[in-house]
Structure 1
Amino acid sequence: MREYSKWTPNKQISQPPKFVSGVDGLRTLAVIGVIMYHLLPNIMKGGFLGVPLFLLITGYFVTNQLTRQWQAGQPLKLRSFYWRRFKRLYPPLVGMLLFTSAYITLFARESLVHLRIIILTNLTWVYNWWAIGHGQSYFDRFNGASPFTHLWTLGVEAQFYLIWPVILIWLLKRGGLKLTRRVTIGLAVLSMILMAVLYQPTNLNRVYYGTDTRAFSLLFGSWLALVWPRQKLKATLLAKERYLLNGAGAISLILLIISFFTINGEVASTYRGIMALDSLVGLVLLATIVHPGAQVNQWLTNPVFHYIGQRSYEIYIYQLPVMVFYERLFPVGDAPWLNALIELGLVFGISELAYRLVESPLKRKALGPHRKPLQTKKQWATLTVMGLITVIAGVGILGPQPQPVKSSLQKQLQHNKQATSDRNKKIAAGKVPKVDVNSPSLKQKYQLNSKQLKQAGDWLITAVGDSVMVDAANDLQEVMPHAMVKAKVGMQGTAGLNILKDLANKNQLSPIVVVNLGTNGAISDQVADEIVQTVGDRQLYWITPHVPTRPWQKAVVAQIKREAKQHPNVHVVDWNTKSKNHPNWFGKDNVHMNEIGNAQFTRLLVTTIIKEEK
């Protein structure tokens, strides 16, 4: 990119550049990526990379605006800058917080826990830092998914609005553009390094939500504004230059779309370079969009993109509450695409309503100091409804906040985890109890005969899984006492793979390996293939998940069956099919089993292994 080292104040620079319509297309790409990641994570597993695109846009236009004013000799009024920015962010956010809090107060009271501090940290723009220590992982949509998780982004942006203008002005005054560019790109590189260094596979929240570790996208956009200011870009280019820009724009657009389908948010490489590289690809695309001599802006300009881009803020903030509450009410796992369409319709409908009631009037200055008095019944009705929602939300926010209380399931899982850990230690020490193959109670509980119990009692097994396996571990080790169970609540595919790799490196994998993953999220093809490769020539029994409340159920089941077709040592333990139409086997969440379900789960595993061993 050509740097413009000499800017001279003039009237042309002082005039605001024309609106770049293609940026709405970039916003559309970003918000669709994020929404599709949340709706169908097995399809668009890298859709979370839409967030860096939003941050790039923010960094570019904020820095471009302030630098242009400074270069034109105009006074930089930070108070006015802050007022405009927060007037844009606050009203839609407050509306979303009120609507969501009112719904929680009426229909989801279990989510009242921490509600007050969540609202407070969002209103003070520090929610992302609170979420690092108290929030849910962005990639865990099963364990009590929060309708507020995605708001970490607004905290990062608001902190940028507050801090960056002060730093930028100081740098411009002290060292001019040259120093400002160097410091900006230096800070971006430092942020990248912090993300790589602070990354921990067991705690993604620190690097994912941290302002310091996510600032590189904002700073890349800021640096681009300093070396590629749109008011200095020439509309008339040589054909060769135009082809070069168009080619760069096309390639970067294709690469970004590919990344939405391929990048895994739970692997180390994403945080040790891939996310930063993806931001740089987005930077190239943004550079070609804002250049008036390229055609990329036209490619991303159409009525649909304009519509979505203008409402992208409302769409972003309302998408997760809609999905979380919808998926609590309806079993989306059996028809993920149909339910995704319904959820999309709800998201766009509510976002349109919020846009018309809040943002559109603000743009027309209808809420400004010269607003007209309420004149129509529609206006009065709207005000009445908003007042009622505010009152209900206030009851939930200001009322007694329930303390986090462990459910009976959580207590059971914690007890099982400890018991499993104790038995694993005995297995490692060679103190394995024998199975009483003639026990009438065992035969009745598991519907297994003496021969089957004897076979199961001799197997050497390594079992890796999530909370479903934690739940069933007592039964598994009662029938298969040599089974070393490595299970953890909330475990996802990548974490399970890491455990298998560690055991394989230590030569601690048994001849029979049982995997129970997929409850907490989709598993990428890459991770699934690596699991099979890690197991090697051992016999792998992969249990299909029963998670009818989540959209990835079908995809994970199909994925496991594909692996079994491709590898003769991979066998399907089809718990998903076996457990259908048996609600009496499950607890309230219809995922974790009760006593009957755990016995049936264990029986299915035993009979499947016996069948495959013949």
Structure 2
Amino acid sequence: MGNRQMGRRHITGVDGLRAIAVIGVIIYHLMPSVAQGGFLGVPIFLLISGYFVTCQLVVEYDNTNRIDFFHFYHKRFKRLYPTLVAMLIATTAYITLFQRSLLVNLRSTIWTNLLWVYNWWEIGHGQSYFDRFAGESPFTHLWTLGVEVQFYVLWPMLLVILLMMFYQRRQRVRWVVLLLAILSALEMAILYHPASLNRVYYGTDTRAFSLMLGAFLGLIWPINHLRPNIDRAWAAALDFLGILTLLGTIFGFFTLSGQGAATYRGAMFGYSFLGTILLATIVHPGAHMNRLLTNRLFTWIGKRSYGIYVYQFPVMIFYENVVKVGNHPLIHGIIQLAIIMGISELSYRYFERPIANYDWHNLGQTLRSLFNRTQWRRWLVVGPALILTGIAVYGLCLPEPKPTATAVQKRITQNAKMIAKRNQEIAAGKTPQVNVNSNSIKQRYNLTTKQVKKLQQLKITAVGDSVMLDASQSIQQLMPLAYVDGQVGRQGNDTPTVLKTLASQGRLANIVVLNLGTNGPIKDQAVDEMLSIIGSKRQVYWVTAHVPTRSWQDSVNDQIKKAAKTHQNVHLVDWYQLSKNYNDWFASDQVHMQEKGNVQFTRLIATTILKYNK
């Protein structure tokens, strides 16, 4: 009876919750400055899976005293594989035709995804999920599928074992599952390291708490045991909890940082627990949350959420590779969203649903019908699919290029070694000498002898990301007392810790140059904290970001301009305004500089400092 009840009841509000989750993820990827915590849509997906899978398995076990593993696996893989394979084929074909630099590690990416272990491969070989600048992979987001499928494979067997062990004491199964969730969250907290998030972010064991919380809810709040007729007071309480946790879920999208220590030391677990309560109110037929989250838009998005999630990242990566989205992020965000939704709808209508309902016993008949003249319309779908598959296979057969460092990467690596040595000399009080009468330096930077001499005497601390490293040799050539602290991939939100360390070591000079924002948006709180650490007595020269291929460019630059207006000691170094029309100053990534760009970058910093240090 329970099985029949569960099968008849489709909870449309859960589609609404899926829609909210996938909207959060997409906004995070398109405009992380708007929803820095949008990545938290993933734990919502995981706890929904944990809940419904557990409910279904327990009902089956209670009705038949067994679980049909083959039927369970067949049902899951039949739903997951077609869309994944279609995305892998289309993406590989695109890479083969237009972006062959991404052929590196492509074969490993394909087979690990087909075996559902891509998340573990990413731990050792992939980039950080939050590395939003150079060399982004269009497959990074697929780590989630690995975690989910590994749960599908292992959980039915583990659940049967637990149900058999505690046959007469079913309630103990619940607490074992809750304990597993807590242990997973503790493992995430223990293994967390700010320098490398891959292990805790991609690991199945460290992300299992969302799935286990969903499973725990499935055991204490089984859908087939929930009664629609409950007291008004209980219904009101459920509605109050539902609205409160819904607001908390959405609030998390805008507040929790994917690189903050608190996120991995309990906040993500707390967020998943909040989502568990929200899900409980949605699935209960006596509450009104199901109706609140039911509408045509949410239902449409929710039913297509899997396809939307799978296709969204390749669309963004490929689009942003050819279009300067930073100049008009909202317009380009809408265009990308339209492309994602269009592809997802085509996939859902012509691929996901037909295959989900297809009887594979009719495969021979279907193949024969393709050669029937009356069925020529089928070739409108089959033809392009075969062409894309052929291109993808060709791409996979090409010799895989070896990862090679670009000229910019080589220069940054070399500069990092050079500034480390120079910083040691400066810290030891060894003053590097510059020939102030050198015509080559004066001509190179278009400065006078007086200006070069003044710059030679200034003690400066320069803190930044890879752009700062790229220009560090020029900076220390012109300003030999400049202590440069640059790091590839540095986020503005991480910089307060860097400044605190420099201050404690006595390395924070009276002139501080900041160059941040290349790798992501900066929280207002981080800006305030940086300026508080530097203090009002030091002079801050903040360089605007030139990142035309990323949506956060304008928001970062607006923050810098706002800081310069509201703080007397903060001065604007408007690199973006100076360089925006000079494409020849930049390398192919449009962010790091060519030699000419490095000279102009350094000269702008130097002349701005001289303007306020006469």
TM-score bracket, normalised by the shorter chain, equals over 0.9
Encode CA deviations 1:234-292: one digit per residue, 9 max, x unaligned. Answer: 10111111110000000111111111111111110111111111111111110000000
Mean Cα deviation higher: 118-127 or 568-577: 568-577
Whether 1:241 aligns to 2:234 is yes
Deviation (angstroms), 1:419? 1.3
Q: In structure 2, what is the equivalent of residue 509 of structure 1? A: 508
Whether 1:418 aligns to 2:417 is yes
Mean Cα deviation higher: 209-218 or 428-437: 428-437
Residue of structure 2 aligned with 1:231, choices 215, 224, 227: 224
Deviation (angstroms), 1:514? 1.1
Whether 1:346 aligns to 2:363 is no
Whether 1:546 aligns to 2:546 is yes
Whether 1:130 aligns to 2:129 is no
**Partner letter of residue 523 of structure 2?**
S
**Partner letter of residue 82 of structure 2?**
P
Deviation (angstroms), 1:74? 4.9
- How many Å separate the matches in 2 of 1:326 and 1:366? 37
Deviation (angstroms), 1:481? 0.8
Whether 1:286 aligns to 2:276 is no
Question: What TM-score does the superposition give when structure 1 sets the normalisation length?
Answer: 0.96
Q: In structure 1, what is the equivalent of residue 520 of structure 2? A: 521
Q: In structure 2, what is the equivalent of residue 329 of structure 1? A: 322
Residue of structure 2 aligned with 1:37, choices 28, 53, 64: 28
The change in CA–CA distance for 1:209 and 1:158 in structure 2 (over 3 A counts) is: same
The change in CA–CA distance for 1:367 and 1:333 in structure 2 (over 3 A counts) is: farther
**Partner letter of residue 568 of structure 1?**
Q
Residue of structure 2 aligned with 1:108, choices 94, 99, 117: 99
Q: In structure 2, what is the equivalent of residue 445 of structure 1? A: 444
Alpha carbons 2:6, 2:223 under 8 Å: kept: no
**Partner letter of residue 590 of structure 2?**
N
The change in CA–CA distance for 1:213 and 1:543 in structure 2 (over 3 A counts) is: same
Whether 1:301 aligns to 2:294 is yes
Q: In structure 1, what is the equivalent of residue 50 of structure 2? A: 59
SS across alignment from 1:333: helix
The change in CA–CA distance for 1:512 and 1:368 in structure 2 (over 3 A counts) is: farther
Whether 1:570 aligns to 2:570 is yes
- How many Å separate the matches in 2 of 1:181 and 1:527? 41
Alpha carbons 1:14, 1:72 under 8 Å: kept: no
SS across alignment from 2:546: coil
**Partner letter of residue 268 of structure 2?**
M
Alpha carbons 1:145, 1:324 under 8 Å: kept: yes
Deviation (angstroms), 1:181? 0.6
SS across alignment from 2:461: strand
Q: In structure 2, what is the equivalent of residue 7 of structure 1? A: none
Whether 1:27 aligns to 2:18 is yes
Deviation (angstroms), 1:411? 1.1
Q: In structure 1, what is the equivalent of residue 478 of structure 2? A: 479
Q: In structure 2, what is the equivalent of residue 608 of structure 1? A: 608
Question: What TM-score does the superposition give when structure 2 sets the normalisation length?
Answer: 0.96
**Partner letter of residue 132 of structure 1?**
I
Encode CA deviations 1:124-182: one digit per residue, 9 max, x unaligned. Answer: 01100110111111111111111000000000000000111111110011114222111
Matched residues, percent identical? 52
Encode CA deviations 1:21-58: one digit per residue, 9 max, x unaligned. Answer: 10000000000000000000111111000000000100
Deviation (angstroms), 1:528? 1.8
Q: In structure 1, what is the equivalent of residue 6 of structure 2? A: 16
- How many Å separate the matches in 1 of 2:246 and 2:612? 48
Alpha carbons 2:78, 2:356 under 8 Å: kept: no
- How many Å separate the matches in 1 of 2:392 and 2:22? 27
Aligned length: 604
**Partner letter of residue 546 of structure 1?**
H
Deviation (angstroms), 1:494? 2.9
Q: In structure 2, what is the equivalent of residue 455 of structure 1? A: 454
**Partner letter of residue 290 of structure 2?**
N
Encode CA deviations 1:350-399: one digit per residue, 9 max, x unaligned. Answer: 11111122111023326564775345222123112111111110111233
Deviation (angstroms), 1:13? 5.0
Alpha carbons 1:116, 1:398 under 8 Å: kept: no
SS across alignment from 1:464: strand
Mean Cα deviation higher: 152-161 or 349-358: 349-358
Deviation (angstroms), 1:495? 3.2
- How many Å separate the matches in 1 of 2:458 and 2:118? 49
Q: In structure 2, what is the equivalent of residue 5 of structure 1? A: none
Q: In structure 2, what is the equivalent of residue 395 of structure 1? A: 394
Alpha carbons 1:14, 1:69 under 8 Å: kept: no
Gaps of 5+ in 1: 1-10
- How many Å separate the matches in 2 of 1:498 and 1:357? 51
- The 5 Å alignment of 1:39-438 reads 39-176=30-167, 177-365=170-358, 369=362, 372=366, 373-374=369-370, 376-438=375-437
Deviation (angstroms), 1:460? 1.3
- How many Å separate the matches in 2 of 1:36 and 1:376? 41
Alpha carbons 1:461, 1:483 under 8 Å: kept: yes
Alpha carbons 1:472, 1:602 under 8 Å: kept: yes
Alpha carbons 1:264, 1:524 under 8 Å: kept: no
Alpha carbons 1:518, 1:545 under 8 Å: kept: yes
Whether 1:582 aligns to 2:572 is no
Encode CA deviations 1:417-450: one digit per residue, 9 max, x unaligned. Answer: 1111111111112222122222211111111112
Encode CA deviations 1:519-564: one digit per residue, 9 max, x unaligned. Answer: 1111122222221122123222111111111111001000111122
Alpha carbons 1:465, 1:491 under 8 Å: kept: yes
Deviation (angstroms), 1:584? 2.1
Mean Cα deviation higher: 100-109 or 602-611: 602-611
Encode CA deviations 1:545-591: one digit per residue, 9 max, x unaligned. Answer: 11111111001000111122222222211111111211221122221
SS across alignment from 2:327: coil
SS across alignment from 2:541: strand
Mean Cα deviation higher: 293-302 or 170-179: 170-179
- How many Å separate the matches in 2 of 1:610 and 1:399? 54
SS across alignment from 2:326: coil
- How many Å separate the matches in 1 of 2:596 and 2:193? 38
- How many Å separate the matches in 1 of 2:2 and 2:437? 93
**Partner letter of residue 450 of structure 1?**
T
Please tell me the root mean square deviation across aligned C-alpha atoms, in Å.
1.4
SS across alignment from 1:571: strand
Encode CA deviations 1:295-339: one digit per residue, 9 max, x unaligned. Answer: 000001111111110100000000000000000111111000000
Alpha carbons 1:361, 1:367 under 8 Å: kept: no
Gaps of 5+ in 2: none
